[in-house]
């Protein structure tokens, strides 16, 4: 987000390369994000003109999952 290069684990590169939606998990400033990227084309079979990327902060969700797993042991 707001970077000039694609960060490690970000699905944008795969979307540009393959032309299909992709997702991944990245860490930014000690926060964990589920990232989903989607290609945008102005024509159905045309080139990708943009990529829309959604970031969901899943830091708390993953921490809670770890606590539940530890409790079950």
Gap between the terminal Cα atoms of the chain: 38
The whole-model pTM stands at: 0.77
- CA–CA distance from 49 to each of 27, 38, 41, 52 (Å)? 27, 11, 5, 10
The pLDDT mean for the chain works out to 90
- The per-residue pLDDT for 34 is 96
Cα angle value 11/36/56 (rounded, 5°):
120
**What DSSP element (H or E) covers 11?**
none
- The per-residue pLDDT for 61 is 92
- The per-residue pLDDT for 73 is 72
Average pLDDT over residues 10-23: 94
């Amino acid at each position: 987000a707001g970077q000039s290069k694609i960060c490690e684990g970000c699905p944008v590169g795969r979307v540009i390369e393959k032309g299909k939606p992709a997702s991944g998990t990245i860490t930014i400033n000690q926060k964990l994000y589920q990232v989903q990227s989607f290609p945008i084309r102005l024509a159905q079979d045309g080139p990708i003109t943009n990529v829309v990327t959604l970031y969901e902060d899943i830091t708390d969700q993953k921490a809670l999952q770890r606590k539940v797993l530890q409790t079950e042991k």
